[in-house]
Amino acid sequence: MTGAAIRPSPRLPAPFFLAAPATLLFIGLILLPLALTAVLSFNVYDYSSGVQNRYTTANYLTVLQDPYYLAIFWRTLRLALLTTVITVLLGTPEAYILTRMGKPWRSIFLLVIIGPLLVSVVVRTFGWSMLLGHDGLVNHALAMLRLEPVQLLYTETAIVIALVHIMLPFMVIPVWTALQKLDPTVEAAALSLGASRFTALRRIVFPQATLGILSGSLIVFGLSASAFAIPGLLGGRRLKMAATVVYDEYLIELNWPLGAAIAIIVLLANLAIMLAYNRMVERQAKRRLG
């Protein structure tokens, strides 16, 4: 058995056998449903008799021409971008501070950062809806300071706050990994050449973490653009995002083909944005950082 494995045997497609379970899983759970969704999105839907066995592009035309859906796509894109930018601005310094921490503190704070991932998104979102609600902690605090109460729940602000909270670990961890690989004397070199601490960070340390920031941004953007629980609970009936509108089409309107068409459009748009972004940043970073 062992002998056979060591002897070079070009005919035995061992790599294929080994890759088979994962491939089957991938085909069964991702490609197949995706293909079915794509097919469904071209089906004709009739309000009185349901999904028909005829095909049309009308679903796509409806979605792409209706200002209602376009507004939802635009909001999804805007909030996902905003969340990504805020997590970069918060997560990068956070990751840097983490690399500079001493022995016991680093592990403790890493746990603090990762800890929230162990709690369900739904539970954390409920937490935010209690904090931000009309009668929530934030408004009580404002009242104590004799300030006007603010409407936070069911606003875009609430969605972004909660998204940032949940996405932060996905930014901190890749950036932290990238920063850990840096040579600390490079920063010292910048200081010796006359840079202030802040300039050294801005010009020397963070640019070297570009690839970490890039992968963090891709994860955060992708997850935010397809977030469901947060806009569902904090956006209310009015403020819909891509994932919630798909849910509504399927389960409330029962117009599955239209829901499928929206899902496919969101998927393609997400894919196009992420690939374009990846290519743009990676091309620059690759040559410099290898």
Partner 1 sequence: MGFLHLERVSKLYGEFAAVRDFDLEIEQGEFISLLGPSGCGKTTTLQMIAGLVAPTNGRITLDGRDITREKPARRGLGVVFQSYALFPHMTVAQNVAFGLEMRKIAKAERDRQVAEILSLVQLTTLADRYPREMSGGQRQRVAIARALVIKPPVLLLDEPLSNLDAKLREEMQFELRRIQRVVGITTIMVTHDQAEALSISDRVVVMEGGRITQVDHPYSLYEHPKNNFISSFVGKSNFLAARAVKETAGVSLLVDNTDLKIPATGNYPGGELCLSVRPEKIRLTDPAGGMLRGSVSSRYFLGNQWLLSVATPAGEISVSVANLGAPPPSEGKVTGLAWNIEECRILAAEQEGILQS
Q: Which parts of this chain interact with partner 1 (CB under 8 A)?
A: 183, 185-186, 188-196, 199, 203-204, 207-208, 210, 285, 287-290
**Cβ 214 to partner 1 shortest distance, Å:** 13
Q: How far is the CB of 93 from partner 1 (least distance, A)?
A: 19
CB nearer partner 1, residue 119 or residue 188? 188
Helix (H) or strand (E) holding 130: helix 121-132
Cβ of residue 19: shortest distance to partner 1, in angstroms?
Answer: 33
CA 95: distance to chain centroid?
A: 18
Q: Measured between alpha carbons, how far apart are the two ends of the chain, in Å? A: 40
Nearer to partner 1, 48 or 185 (CB): 185
CB of 209 to partner 1, least distance (A): 10
d(C-alpha 40, C-alpha 176), whole Å: 42
Complex with partner 1: residue 87 or 210, whichever CB lies closer: 210
Shortest spacing between CB 63 and partner 1, in angstroms: 42
Residue 117 or 289: which CB sits closer to partner 1? 289
118, 126 Cβ separation under 8 angstroms: no
E strand intervals along the chain: 43-46, 50-55
> Which residue, 140 or 286, is less far from partner 1 as judged by CB?
286
DSSP per-residue string spanning 166-216: HHHHHHHHHHHHHHHTS-HHHHHHHHHTT--HHHIIIIIIHHHTHHHHHHH
